[in-house]
Amino acid sequence: MSDTILRYVPEDPFWKPTTADAAKAVSLLKSIAPDAETVDAIFEENVVFYHPGEYWSGIKCNACGADAEPWWDGPMNAAFAVKFENLEFTTPCCGAHTSLNDLHYIVPSAFGRFNLEARNPNMGDPTEDHDRDIARCLGAPVRKIWVRL
């Protein structure tokens, strides 16, 4: 059995909504995804990497477009060692100063301390209006991630 998760993560990896706004966003996501098994707002103590699971399709440098997969482990391990409190690094391909969160994940992925998730939503992609409503409800821009486990 595989699970599909629709997940919203704030664009800023260190940002979290208030618990009141998170609760409102849960209600809103329930109305957008009424057939979901569960809808939850999850706060993490430290920044985590939200991976798209089986949908993973690789990473490219956001500055020059080079394939980042051959060297991505290096900055990932360095960032993991400081609990992802610093995501910045210099790319080996072109020397650009960037953040792990800003690399071009071919299927959206994100770092964050908060996520709003609908498990097995049994629906297609929410509309841009829905995405905007979620962002407005939480109070910050969000990244939408589809995960297949």
Rounded distance between C-alpha atoms, residue 139 and residue 58, angstroms: 30
Q: What are the residue ranges of helices labelled H in the chain?
A: 19-32, 73-81, 128-138
Helix, strand or coil, per DSSP, at residue 73: helix
72 binds Zn ion (CB under 5 A): no
Contact indicator for 148, 54 with CB cutoff of 8 Å: yes
Stretch of 86-94, 117-125, 127-135, 140-148 lying at the interface with Zn ion (CB under 5 A): 86-94
Stretch of 34-42, 58-66, 78-86, 130-138 lying at the interface with Zn ion (CB under 5 A): 58-66
90 binds Zn ion (CB under 5 A): no
Stretch of 41-49, 51-59, 74-82, 87-95 lying at the interface with Zn ion (CB under 5 A): 87-95
Contact indicator for 116, 26 with CB cutoff of 8 Å: yes
Smallest distance from Zn ion to CB 86, Å: 19
Positions in the binding site for Zn ion (CB under 5 A): 61, 63-64, 66, 91, 93-94
